[in-house]
Structure 1
């Protein structure tokens, strides 16, 4: 009987040892993803200028990867200066350009002009002739679950050209690395880049001019959650990783002071009021936009015969006219006589002057906005050279196009739905909601960011 027990024990031991050996010999292989490819319509050449470093350079998009099993997938966009990615360094923001960690359902990652320029500089490019063109390389990494092995897309090369710097248009003002993110601005980053903070004359003090909707916001660096500030206690103090900041719809001047870790938010909206625009306030004033390259505020607007003034926050407490009709801004001054037409108007409070230039004003038209012109088009404003913005635009289910001065002589659509402006192109489908719309005429592109 003892012999039988010993034999059985020996058999179990050998079987266990063999099983352990077999386990040790197992090789785990990650499921390869199918369909992990970019579907972005890339440009032939990307012209990069540091004066607009916070602008979108490209929005990398892709279809959902298929690993053959239901699973959570996180995507990471990576860049490199070498075609084989031999220079890529994991964990460095220069090469790790973004991820879907904060928004797992997303199939897009935006890359700014500044991010591309930084990568181009690492490749030895600058804005001097002969060393200002080259190729940068990008790939998508998909990871399943929390600790899964990665799969990669094919490497995509993009041609870039660095332009001569036109920093701040001589104002000394620059876009900073800080931005506004949240449901009150860009749907926590899924509806466009963060709202830009600009440098000021005081070191570590930044200012943003933002049109917000009801929701919450935070402030973060480089469109990334690595460094972000909220306000725990709602006391105006910036807390690293702190609570979201509740906001109500409106236009604000937001000042962030990193010297003492405080911030302020004040209503701030200059507009046009008068019989020449909105029957002296029967409807909202025409809103101005900030242009950091000139440190002025601007608006593209359609006026009718009448008179106008400029006022702050749709209120008469602070208003400017022009006594003497000499182009000078005077506090409480005379009404300004205007004739019907399309105008680009600039207010320069540094020098207390204004300009009104008759010219082209882009607008949004379509069944998705104004029943193809049954009411006025939604006007764009040129906020930087060749860059136009239209913010908090209420769209309906339908289609839109962009045209000049409410006339079909010059109009743009998008044949192929690839984000490219096509002269006379196809109508652009839109779903009902609130949008920020941006046109980059120089690069022939546009963005439709649905924020709500």
Structure 2
């Protein structure tokens, strides 16, 4: 699945007509409208399941346009399946809503069902196997009752159609709920909420998140219209309840919205051994969850030696019984906790290098893990003031920078300036984008 980079234009242009002395002599004057742009924290991927068509897929929000003079402006959200909007036709399919009923509201909600209709118009369907692609959106601003329309920059979103699953089924999909807070993403200011996933039990969701000291809550659709807290710190949740105090660590959080309960438990699987960290002299190499395969994955550089997998950096729980002998190299490893099996293959391991992390390679790069094809993730990276790049296999044969500081990766590109802090890192080599979410 692909990540998405959004490019927002800072202005749109509207054309007005000024009459001159002769009726057939018209002067065209361009009026700049400052500030019209989506300000939504878009997701990297929107998973659309027909069993929840009425659920909110995204709440599109924006900044007001400013034409330099007081005026009434009505906004309309439009969708299309082509990047240049050449297939747009006025109608229910492509016209997704407006703020006509509430002109003061700078938001238009779009349901899962509306996005599915657009996705099917784009030719996406599960039967043909083409269930992933992009949809495109723009704002149309109209001055007064019948003024000339003006348009925002076109925004593309990655979407994935999933087959309908029965309630209580075993297929795992991203849920509408997430983890938000100073303990995760600076209350939404540092990237999307930590994702919950469905389980085999209706209304029970699970998230695997790495937290820092702080507070969290649970909210739906990355929005404050619906959130849950814990007023008495007793494991029960209340709508709009109190923040939940957390300490740094990696956790499995289980949320039961029907019973209004939740649990949090330390939960981290890692690679340990003389092939990695001298049997625990440093923290184990952490696995990341991949819901598409219901496995945990890690990309890691290993030395000649032996290794095992263990739980919470401790020997109380580990597998397999015998050590695994390995030869030095870069590997992608997946473990399946349903049957305690694992797969392991040599693979490129992308990581962070630079004066902002390891003095340009004085120690190992900060390794990212390929969660799904071309999608790499890493947390939590401790960076210092300086510069970084991305490179494969702790070597300069292949590296990415960012020429232009525009959020795209360029082979051999310019160094990326960073400031000291803790970061979650996303990189999409297929779409050529990256994100550095500074959480503290």
TM above 0.5, yes or no, is: yes
CA shift, 1:175, in A, is 0.3
The residue aligned with 2:308 is: 309
Equivalent residue number for residue 157 of structure 1: 154
Identify the residue that residue 78 of structure 2 maps to in structure 1. Answer: 80
Q: CA RMSD, aligned part only? A: 4.0
**Cα deviations across residues 57-112 of structure 1 (Å, max 9, x unaligned)?**
99x999998899xxxxxxx99733378896524499xxx8969xxxxxxxxxxx9x
Aligned partners of 2:186, 2:271: CA distance in 1, in Å?
Answer: 29
1:121 aligned onto 2:117: yes
Alignment CA distance shift 1:80-1:258 (3 Å): same
The one-character-per-residue Cα deviations of 1:336-375 (angstroms, maximum 9, x if unpaired) are 2222111111111212211121111111111111111111
1:130-153: CA deviations, max 9, x gaps?
A: 999896433399xxxxxxxxxx98
In 2, Cα distance between the equivalents of 1:270 and 1:36? 46
CA offsets 1:215-248 (integer angstroms, 9 cap, x no match): 0000000000000000001000011000000000
- Distance change in 2, residues 1:205/1:164 (3 Å): closer
Q: Distance in 2 between matches of 1:134 and 1:335?
A: 45
Question: 2:422 aligns to what?
Answer: 434
Aligned ranges for residues 317-396 of structure 1 at < 5 Å? 317-321=316-320, 333-396=321-384
Map 1:48-447; keep pairs closer than 5 Å.
50=48, 79-81=77-79, 87-90=96-99, 118-119=114-115, 121=117, 125=121, 127-128=124-125, 136-139=136-139, 154-158=151-155, 165=162, 172-321=171-320, 333-447=321-435
How far does residue 155 in structure 1 lie from its aligned partner after superposition? Answer: 2.5
Q: Give me the whole-angstrom Cα distance separating, in 2, the residues matched to 1:250 and 1:186.
A: 14
Listed as ranges, the gaps of 5+ residues in structure 2 are: 1-30, 69-73, 80-87, 142-148
Contact 2:96 2:114 (C-alpha < 8 Å) held by counterparts: no
Looking at secondary structure, tell me which structure has more helix per residue.
1
Stretches of structure 1 lacking an aligned partner (at least 5 in a row): 1-31, 41-45, 69-75, 100-110, 142-151, 322-332
Structure 1 distance, partners of 2:397, 2:283, is: 29
CA contact (8 A) 1:173 1:292 kept: yes
TM-score for the superposition, normalised by structure 1: 0.71
Distance 1:377-1:121 versus aligned 2 partners, 3 A rule: same
Aligned to 2:7: none
Between Structure 1 and Structure 2, the one with more strand by share is: 2
Q: How many residues get paired?
A: 368
Contact 1:49–1:166, Cα closer than 8 Å, also in 2: no
The Cα offsets for residues 185-206 of structure 1, whole Å up to 9 and x where unpaired, read as 0000011000000000000000
| Contact 1:289 1:299 (8 Å CA) reproduced | yes
- State the TM-score, normalizing by the size of structure 2: 0.73
| CA contact 2:76–2:98 (8 Å) conserved in 1 | no
Decide whether aligned partners of structure 1 residues 91 and 426 sit closer, same or farther in structure 2, where only a CA change above 3 A counts.
Answer: farther
